[in-house]
Amino acid sequence: MSSRRRTFLKVLAASPLLACSGTALESPSDGGGQGVAGSDFGGSGAGGKGGSAGSSATTPGDKPGGNISATSIGTLLVLPNSAIVLGRDAQGLYAMTIVCPHQGCYVAPQGSDLYCPCHGSLFDSNGNVLRGPARAPLTHFAVSVDAAGNIAIHTGSLVAAAVRTTA
Ligand code: FES
């Protein structure tokens, strides 16, 4: 192998995009491939209103989150075919992006925390940074539960990290 080729391969190996692409999950419903923070979901800004029990209206960008009967306190579940993690704690349901705010890889539950395999960032179960290099927390989305207990995640409506939805 020529030294030029070796140099090229070293540059490729150091590329964050390549480093991320090997470990990111596919998300066909979000257009496939790896998400980049802020690009998977349109939002209305943090601090928006939370979801409320009984609401069944859906809008583009809403994602089904299963039935509340399938959740329990301590739930931290990445929803299939989406870049969303659904959580439940003593105060209620919440949902967050799994797109790491560092460079856009997908985080995954690791015990009661969320771990980014690309560069090792660690987030608590509410998306707060426990360890960098990520500096920003995970984005939260509004959640609603209809009368039958069906959960909807409203990815177009960003909410504060403390917002919870109860059935
Ligand atoms: S993308 Fe770098 S720590 Fe997550």
Architecture of the 3-159 domain: 3-layer Sandwich (2.102)
Q: What local confidence, expressed as pLDDT, does residue 101 receive?
A: 98
Nearest to 65 by CA among 139, 149, 153, 148: 153
Q: What does the alpha-carbon distance between residue 8 and residue 51 come to, in Å, rounded to a whole number?
A: 50
Per-residue b or e along 4-29, where b marks 16 or more CB atoms closer than 10 Å to that residue's CB: eeeeeeeeeeeeeeebbeeebbebee
Across the strands, what pairs with 129?
Answer: 123
Both tokens of residue 141?
């989305």
The pLDDT mean for the chain works out to: 76
Ligand 1 pocket member 134 (CB < 6 A): yes
Q: Mapping DSSP to helix (H, G, I), strand (E, B) and coil, where does residue 14 land?
A: helix
Ligand 1 pocket member 153 (CB < 6 A): no
pLDDT digits (tens, 9 = 90+) for 73-95: 998 999 998 999 999 999 999 99
Q: What is the pTM of this model?
A: 0.69
Distance between alpha carbon 52 and the CA centroid of its chain, in Å? 20
The best mutation among 99, 103, 114, 122 to test binding of ligand 1, ranked by most ligand atoms within 8 Å of the C-beta, falls on 103
Q: Where along the chain do its domains lie?
A: 3-159
Instruction: Give the chain's residues under pLDDT 50.
Output: 1-56
